[in-house]
Amino acid sequence: MKKLATALSVLAISAIASTTFASAAQHVDSHDLTGAQVKQLVQEQGSVLLDTGPNVFDRYVANSSYCSLGEKAERAYVPTADSNSEFVGYTCQADSNS
């Protein structure tokens, strides 16, 4: 009985972890949304993976608090449904001063 409980616990943890990682890795195509919609998504989520072209994506953040230590937030522009280059937030880049 103890082995069954352990096996079920491991299975449950695996299911939760895979669901968490899968949802964390969802991409949004910037071309499918207007600039205002992309900006709102980034602000609400804090951090979003945006597809900006075939096999091209990056992480866009609302502000520098979403960047790691040694990174700085740099303004980011992406193509959207209504613009070729819309400011939507920031990307985290290595800080050369660190």
Domain ranges of the chain: 27-94
Mean pLDDT of all residues in 50-59: 96
Cα gap 13→73, rounded to integer Å:
34
Cβ within 8 Å of residue 94, ≥6 positions away? 70, 71
Residue 33, pLDDT above cutoff 50: yes
Nearest to 62 by CA among 80, 71, 75, 52: 75
Q: pLDDT digits over 37-47, tens only?
A: 999 999 999 99
